[in-house]
Amino acid sequence: MVTLVKLRLSGLLVAMLGSSLTFAQSTQPVWNDTYPEKTEALSLKGDPVRGENAFVICQGCHRVGALGRVDGSYPRLAGQFPEYTDELKCWTRSENRWMRRAAAVSLIVPAKHGKFLPEALGIAELLLTDSDDLVQKGYGWLLKEASRKHTEEVFAFVMKNKKEMPRTALRYAIELMPKDLKAEAMKKDW
């Protein structure tokens, strides 16, 4: 069977490809709403070889590993399902800076909509002392987007970890917070 990561194709694409993709059956709800094409796509039985080929094609627009484009023109095809977040946590231990960064930025879209807060905070904690500035910006961005719907929780995380948290990540994380919270987070009171 094609791995779960490689099965993260949009419902519309799957509907266009027909019933030849294999999907892992899951009883867990996904973070985004259902729609007819997606429901139909998830009910299809399929051909793993054709699924592998489709995934290779999808990477042409959705980038290597189907991580999507930063501007959102081609969204991530990974990181949208709860069972996938365990894999993201493994990425935080990679020697590759882009994999570590992808562990955080893969959850930005659902975090922006108030989803996956425990996972977002867990990944940020795993990356907390990463020395790479692009990784720091990545998890800071994740925290910033999570703060849209969970300001108090993200602020508590920042306050708990601000002594160890690089200033780059901290500044990204508090960017959308009210001025009084920003000022409190920026204090060097240790």
Residues of the chain with pLDDT below 50 are: 1-31
What domains can you pick out in the chain, each with its CATH number?
5-66 (no CATH), 82-186 (1.25.10.90)
pLDDT tens for each residue of 45-79: 666 677 667 767 777 777 776 677 766 666 666 55
| pLDDT at res. 75 | 66
CA torsion sign for 104, 108, 110, 113 is positive
- Cβ neighbours, 10 Å, residue 95: 6
Instruction: For tokens 């948290």, name the residue.
Output: 165
Structure tokens at 65: 């590993």
Nearest to 81 by CA among 29, 126, 46: 29
| pLDDT at res. 15 | 38
- Cβ neighbours, 10 Å, residue 150: 18
Nearest to 9 by CA among 72, 91, 69, 74: 74
